[in-house]
Structure 1
Amino acid sequence: MNEAIILAGGIGTRLKSAVPDLPKCMAPVNGKPFIAYIIAHLQQQGIDRFIFSLGYKHQYFTEYLQQHLLTESYTIVTEQEPLGTGGAIQLACSAVHSENVLVTNGDTLYTMHYATFRQFHLNKKAGCSLCLKPMEHFDRYGAVSINENSEIIAFHEKKYTEKGLINGGVYLLNVTQFLSNKLPEKFSFEKDYLEQKTGNRELFGYVQDEYFIDIGIPDDYLKAQAELS
């Protein structure tokens, strides 16, 4: 379980005003593309093989990866057309070697502890485990509810919330179980998979109150410049 899929195919429409010519994950943060911070964190956690799910302006990624990663340490899977988050993960799973794989968004840095998250996932025999970030006073994210067994029982629509848990965009996925769902080529991982599986004893949430930044909007992109200096 030393592999990670990094989803890096998005256009980043909301970030266009700040980074007009690059894919969102390649947005420069203090002289390095944002995705470099994600790769470095995952390497520190013991991940040594990466599957990059690319799409929009993928040539920017390939040039960077060739210069900064050993060829044998990564595989590139490129969408020929947008497949949605679920379709991108499903396609990337074709390059996974292990039974379970870590999945993370290329525009979000969440410094979770992988060893404990992995043990949680295995202990629960989960189809998919989500890292959940405690947060206060938020409206940009929907809240997630879990029961006493850490099973995810509900995803809530985005609205102002005083205190709650959010989906941190980091998953551990049982590849065989996921692919057995026979999902379409194009679909939303969040809407068409996660939300459909609540209450089926397949989805579990592991709470980790660690550093979290999502650069999807200009304000948080600027925040990353200061916090990752």
Structure 2
Amino acid sequence: MIRMCAAGCDLVVLCGGLGTRLRSVVSDRPKSLAMIDGRPFLDFILEHFAHHGIARIILCTGHLGDCIDERYASFRHPYELVFSRESSPMGTAGAVKHAAGLIRSDPFMVVNGDSLIDVDPNELLGFHAAKQGWATVALASADARDDVGFVTLESRAKVTAFAEKQPGAGEKYHNAGVYVFRRAVLAEIPDHRPSSIETDLLPALLPRGVFGFLSNAPLYDIGTPERLARFQSLTTVFTNH
């Protein structure tokens, strides 16, 4: 597999979600700060990508964003950490647009702040460069979840359709919430209004080339109390690099 050095690629982490389904167990902080054995879930995301060479990370915050600022602004990190705070919910693509002035690299990566899959960004960036598309989406094998997006692929890993959060869609792959985008994509996201990567941006980019990077690694997310509890029992997956 082709690899590219991740050190020159900015990573945007989406931490501004409201976390409605998780409020019964996490109500006083963003869901990305849900505690896992005494540490925030976000720590695992940052450490995973830093381990693979990412050197500049942009945290997109919103709901209860002060909690994230307070935890990470004063820490010393082996990477540069930048904060982008939105005053009202802008959706996943809207949060990226809000941070556009802070994004330096081309391409750049985006990850959800409430999920994690053991994907090597160096391999993901190499795949993206080889395909020469506008976007690359990391994909996990589909499981029984009915609230995670399904993706249809044709030969050569080109994405032909998205069925985001549609139960019973019957496709083989889930959107794993890890993306690589050309910098030119920023101009395709509308200003000053909510927009979604999953339901707005990616479908609009299909004619320009969106490719799926297949991973055999399990996809973990903490979007519900049950999934949070599952990850709490599996932290060694990401702490033994």
Q: Normalising by structure 2, what TM-score?
A: 0.88
Moved over 6 A (4+): none
Correspondence for 2:129: 122
- Matched to 1:134, the amino acid is S
CA deviation vs aligned residue, 1:199-223 (integer Å, no higher than 9, x gap): x142111101113211001100111
Correspondence for 2:220: 213
Q: How many Å separate the matches in 1 of 2:104 and 2:233?
A: 37
**Deviation, structure 1 residue 185:** 2.4
- Matched to 2:205, the amino acid is K
Correspondence for 1:82: 89
SS at match of 1:68: coil
Correspondence for 2:205: 197
Q: How many Å separate the matches in 2 of 1:92 and 1:47?
A: 18
CA contact (8 A) 2:97 2:189 kept: no
- Matched to 2:203, the amino acid is E
**Deviation, structure 1 residue 147:** 0.9
Query: Does 1:159 pair with 2:167?
Result: yes
Unaligned 5+ segments in structure 2 are 1-7, 237-241
**Deviation, structure 1 residue 70:** 3.7
Correspondence for 2:5: none
CA contact (8 A) 1:131 1:167 kept: yes
**Deviation, structure 1 residue 182:** 5.3
- Structure in which a larger fraction of residues adopt strand: 1
**Deviation, structure 1 residue 71:** 9.4
Fraction of identical pairs, as percent: 28
SS at match of 2:133: coil
CA contact (8 A) 1:138 1:161 kept: no
Q: Normalising by structure 1, what TM-score?
A: 0.93
Unaligned 5+ segments in structure 1 are none
Correspondence for 1:91: 98
Correspondence for 2:239: none
Q: How many Å separate the matches in 1 of 2:189 and 2:117?
A: 30
Alignment counterpart, residue 170 of structure 1, candidates 160, 178, 190: 178
Q: How many Å separate the matches in 2 of 1:87 and 1:21?
A: 24
SS at match of 2:82: strand
Q: How many Å separate the matches in 1 of 2:50 and 2:61?
A: 20
Task: Give the paired residue count.
Answer: 227
